[in-house]
A and B are shown apart, each in its own frame.
Chain A
Amino acid sequence: MPTTLELRNVSKSYNKFVAVDDLSLEIEKGSVYGLLGPNGAGKTSSLRMMIGITLPDAGEVVVFGEPFKREHLDRIGYLPEERGLYKKMKLIEQVIFLAQLKGLSEPEARSRAQKWFERLELGSWVDKKVEELSKGMQQKVQFIAGILHDPEFVILDEPFSGLDPANADALKDILLELRKAGKTILFSTHRMDQVEKLCDAICLIDHGRAVLQGELREVKARFGRNHVQIEYEGDGDFLQSSPMVQSIHNFGNYSEVELAPSADPQELLKAMVARARINRFELAEPSLEKIFIDTVNNQNGKKENERKQHA
């Protein structure tokens, strides 16, 4: 498969702070790729290097199979984390201006913008200023501005943050539609549920390093089927201390449990039935959320140990 984007051993520091540390990843053409990580992990710094806002200190950025050139930018769409729009500018002029910077002619940009505004139910707002819009509407306008030039590669930084469920769903539909049209999509997020629904492949970064990456299915399989998801009513506290449980993620009426290496899930179920009413008991792959939290905690634990050894 041809790749849309490759990072090869990319590093970036600001003064002494290392934002991205020897990061490598490959995004296949036509796939949906999730860049995950806790806040401050280096997601935005990585994205910025892909679109030439900053240059890497070391390593190489390869886009559409060639070393990065500014000419590539006309084929890439970018949506920043927060709304990036001029408050006092009319919607239509705003979108046309941004599309012109991507090389579109004014009449072409205008006719495409009209279609998108109609489609996202903003048709009657085109001559309004951005400051008159709700947050969700602004997000839609932002989205239109990002893809009006029909980019082959769309990069979205935290696209779902601040969206209500209906708008998040609408955005998801459009992303799937873009994938169907053969576009490559990269988005960064710390919301795991969306990743599980959308992504073909992921890269989890922490402290600027890739700690986990690969195809989503393969990543989950790597963690094995030694996980149990339990929905229950009653007392679930004993799970915390049970020797059969390696680690647990407790949500009150729902727990995700990683079994100890030799533990038998049937024994756990029996013990559980004695104490609570069980509505669901399922042997499953770990959820991405659990993988995320375990991996990040693991990394931090390692760091902590290293620090202690140095001290």
Chain B
Amino acid sequence: MRNTWLVIRREYLERVRTKSFIVSTILLPAFVFAVTILPSKFVSMENKGTEHIAVVASNSAVADAVEAQLHATGHERKFEVDKHVNDNPDIRKSLDDQVREKKIDGYLWLTDQAIADGKVEYVARSSSDMIVNQNIRDAANDGVTRARLLQHGVAGGDLETLLQPVKVQTVAISGQANKLSETAIFLGSFLVAMMIYITLIMYGMSVMRSVLEEKSSRVMEVLLSSITAKELMAGKLLGVGAAGLTQVAIWAGFMAYVGTVGGAGASSQLRELVGGHPLLIVFLPVFFVLGFMLYSGMYAALGAAVNSDQEAQQWQWFVTMPLVIPIILLSTVILSPDSPMSVGLSMVPFFSPILMYVRIVAHTPPWWQIALSIGLLLATTYLIIVVTSRIYRVGILMYGKRPTLPEILKWLKYA
């Protein structure tokens, strides 16, 4: 026990005292924030200018209604609208020219004929700006509906009442209303998934590298002349894990602070997310610890089995792969967290540290599912540690040739 404790203390202090620990504590959340949230900010920042479009309709009622709607719905964009009450197909040519010559950004072909034929078109230079397209679609729909209702004799005042949209609020069966916007949930889930993923890889590799360093520098032999391989491996995993947990706890503490007090400069989305979602903070350290215990044993065995960094790199995918799969499946699970596929995937022990956590953040599943996935994860971790500690114990004393997979399997049988 004393020996394991000494190893834990060494591993912990060696990591926590370094500059890179402090730097990564600050930079990692910044990085994750940058890759998840900034791209969407960029999209909406772009083209803040005015969108100049032409609306072609057979009568002014439709054209006026569409113009009014464009001005009303365009939150992110301003629209300047040229109205053409003229359904002669010949003017399309001149409008096409105007688009090409960049006099207008596009035109909406909304003649009675087109509506009847179902051939309403928005012709634009580029068709990629999703927000503009969405605004124009909404405005065209709304405008035409209004014009039709007016034609049928509905008075202006009644029109607003009739068209008043219904707001649907999603409420979980447990009765608590999900107060968060869907964007916040989506980005938040992505953010925490990336944080777990990156920290698991970072600390897993740290275990691997330090085992390899002990082996290749022969510190291993000195250590083994005092303590057992089991004590050494336990000390290493617990020590590195404690360093990782310290870092994750700092982030969790920071998020709790932002959520409750609201730090300066914190984005409103972030504040909204963590403030309305204590489970997100609670489960961050929980799933880091669970995931680390599962994966670090494998990284330790990998470090013990190989002889050099190059060899380690060749084999690394073997351990990293099961961590990458949940990242690939991430958006599917976030978008439908309760589908049978998402539920099934979040039960798979190698995926659950990321996917179950994401499901909890996106839409908290029943407690029995959380308990089951953690139970399966713990059971698997136990098996993995039994197997990897055997590989570790033999591997750390094997020098020279890189072992083949059959050889490694043979190590499992050594007494």
Residues of A bordering B, CB below 8 Å: 15, 48, 51-55, 70, 73-74, 76, 78-89, 97-98, 100-102, 142, 145-146
- Chain B residue nearest to A82 (CB atoms) is B218
- Chain B residue nearest to A77 (CB atoms) is B225
Which 6 interchain pairs have the tightest Cβ spacing? A78-B225, A84-B218, A101-B226, A80-B221, A84-B222, A51-B225
20 contacts between A and B (CB under 8 A): A48-B397, A53-B224, A53-B225, A53-B397, A54-B397, A73-B226, A74-B226, A76-B225, A78-B222, A80-B222, A83-B218, A84-B221, A85-B222, A86-B214, A87-B217, A97-B6, A101-B223, A101-B226, A102-B226, A142-B222
Q: Pick from B3, B14, B397: contact of A101, CB below 8 A.
A: B3
Enumerate chain A residues within 8 angstroms of B224, measured Cβ to Cβ. Answer: 51-53
Report Cα–Cα, A74/B220, bound state, in Å: 17
With A89-B14, A100-B6, A101-B227 known as contacts, the answer to whether A53 contacts B217 (CB < 8 A) is: no
For chain B, give the interface size range: 20 to 34
- Chain B residue nearest to A74 (CB atoms) is B226
Report Cα–Cα, A55/B218, bound state, in Å: 19
Q: Pick from A15, A83, A89, A98: contact of B226, CB below 8 A.
A: A98
Instruction: Indicate with 1 or 0, residue by residue over B206-233, a CB within 8 angstroms of chain A CB atoms.
Output: 0000000110011111111111100000
Residues of B bordering A, CB below 8 Å: 3, 6, 10, 14, 213-214, 217-228, 397, 410, 415
Enumerate chain B residues within 8 angstroms of A51, measured Cβ to Cβ. Answer: 224-225
Report Cα–Cα, A81/B217, bound state, in Å: 11
Cβ A80 vs Cβ B410 within 8 A = no
Cβ B219 vs Cβ A84 within 8 A = yes
Enumerate chain A residues within 8 angstroms of B227, measured Cβ to Cβ. Answer: 101
Enumerate chain B residues within 8 angstroms of A86, measured Cβ to Cβ. Answer: 213-214, 217, 219
Chain A, interface SS category: loop
Cβ A87 vs Cβ B222 within 8 A = no
Cβ B213 vs Cβ A87 within 8 A = yes
- Chain A residue nearest to B410 (CB atoms) is A15
- Chain B residue nearest to A106 (CB atoms) is B6
Report Cα–Cα, A142/B219, bound state, in Å: 10
With A15-B410, A97-B6 known as contacts, the answer to whether A78 contacts B221 (CB < 8 A) is: yes
- Chain B residue nearest to A130 (CB atoms) is B217
Cβ B10 vs Cβ A85 within 8 A = no
- Chain B residue nearest to A145 (CB atoms) is B222
Report Cα–Cα, A80/B223, bound state, in Å: 10
Cβ A81 vs Cβ B6 within 8 A = no
Q: Pick from B3, B6, B14, B220: contact of A84, CB below 8 A.
A: B220
Report Cα–Cα, A80/B226, bound state, in Å: 13
9 new A-B contacts at CB < 8 Å, known A54-B397, A98-B226, A145-B222: A52-B224, A82-B218, A83-B217, A84-B222, A85-B217, A86-B214, A86-B217, A101-B3, A101-B226
- Chain A residue nearest to B231 (CB atoms) is A101
Enumerate chain A residues within 8 angstroms of B397, measured Cβ to Cβ. Answer: 48, 53-54
- Chain B residue nearest to A142 (CB atoms) is B222
Enumerate chain A residues within 8 angstroms of B219, measured Cβ to Cβ. Answer: 84-86
Enumerate chain B residues within 8 angstroms of A78, measured Cβ to Cβ. Answer: 221-222, 225
- Chain A residue nearest to B226 (CB atoms) is A101
A76 to chain B, nearest CB (A): 7
B184 to chain A, nearest CB (A): 42
Report Cα–Cα, A198/B14, bound state, in Å: 40
Cβ A101 vs Cβ B6 within 8 A = yes
Enumerate chain B residues within 8 angstroms of A48, measured Cβ to Cβ. Answer: 221, 397
Enumerate chain A residues within 8 angstroms of B226, measured Cβ to Cβ. Answer: 73-74, 98, 101-102
Report Cα–Cα, A89/B230, bound state, in Å: 23
